[in-house]
Structure 1
Amino acid sequence: MGMQAGSSGGLQSEINVTPMVDIMLVILIIFMVITPFLQQGITVAIPRDMNNPEVDPAIIKESSVVISIPEDNQFYIGKERIDKDSLKSEIENRMRDKQGDERIVYIKSGVGVSYGNVVEVINLIRQAGVDQIGLVADRKKKGQGGGATEAAKQ
């Protein structure tokens, strides 16, 4: 009726979950650190309260052309900074192989960007031969502001 000293040499039927929990916590921390870096494009504080209910699912595709204007006279296509002078030729290059509904350019403009900069970009897009332009804004949630991104096609 005493305690047994040493191991009996038999099989242990209990699972030791401590190493598994340690590994899962490390993986969770890795994902929490990496996730902010997976965001596509440039972060822009975009306007809110747009009443257009249609959300264009093509905007999140990697092949879509999104022009970001975070501040006046700063233009990005994806994460690549582009000069205003070369913006038209870059749009033409990216639209060369696209047909029909794929020929759309999205504009994601910051709240503080002047209206004139956005109009200049729209004119450059039209000069590049693209007729469909999407304007990106935050969708207003029912009862509160903010939420998912939506694009209104022009």
Structure 2
Amino acid sequence: MYQRKRRRPVAEINVVPYIDVMLVLLIIFMVTAPIVSQGVKVDLPQGSAEPLPQDSKPPIVASIDAAGDYFVNIGEGSNSQIMDLTEVTQEVAAALLIAPERPVVVKGDRSIPYEKVIQLMVSLQKAGVPSVGLMTDSFEEN
């Protein structure tokens, strides 16, 4: 008489569907990562912030006041009239043509929206500024 063999249960997990899902997720993340990561490149210091050296050229200061108006201080004899973002870009680009080694700093009022500072930094980047510093007031820790 013919005897039937008993099948034992297989205790292995089939991982092929999991690999397929992981490959699809990898492709999705590779496509969306460049879209999500936008920003302004800023050179951050490695240590504590220090003031500019005394022997360096005077910086070009692009300012935003509490009302959201833009100003540029190129140096001595510079006028402090209200400008729009395009004029700020042109002034800084012209000053950098004369002295490309001059540092550029952004001075913003603490009550303005962060978006205004970013707009100024992007316009300075378009003007050819290699790196931008942020001007702050010094404070003492308690």
TM-score w.r.t. length of structure 2: 0.55
Q: Which stretches in structure 2 are left out of the alignment for 5+ residues?
A: 1-46, 74-79
Q: CA deviation at 1:52?
A: 3.3
Comparing 117-126 with 83-92, greater Cα deviation is found at: 83-92
Paired residue for 2:116?
A: 117
- Equivalent residues in 2 for 1:1-154, closer than 5 Å: 52-57=48-53, 63-78=58-73, 79-99=80-100, 102-143=101-142
Identity of aligned residues (%): 22
Detail structure 1 runs of 4+ shifted over 4 Å in the superposition: none
Q: CA deviation at 1:88?
A: 1.2
Q: Which stretches in structure 1 are left out of the alignment for 5+ residues?
A: 1-50, 144-154
Number of aligned residue pairs: 89
More strand by share: 1
Q: CA deviation at 1:72?
A: 4.5
8 Å CA contact 1:103, 1:130 repeated in 2? no
Q: Can you list the C-alpha shifts for 1:57-89, whole angstroms capped at 9, x where unaligned? A: 36x96x421011112530011223211222211
TM-score w.r.t. length of structure 1: 0.51
CA distance in 2, matches of 1:74, 1:87: 11
**Two-structure CA RMSD over aligned residues (Å):** 2.3
Paired residue for 2:3?
A: none
Question: Highest CA radius of gyration, 1 or 2?
Answer: 2
Q: CA deviation at 1:120?
A: 0.4
Paired residue for 2:23?
A: none
The SS at the match of 2:91 is: helix
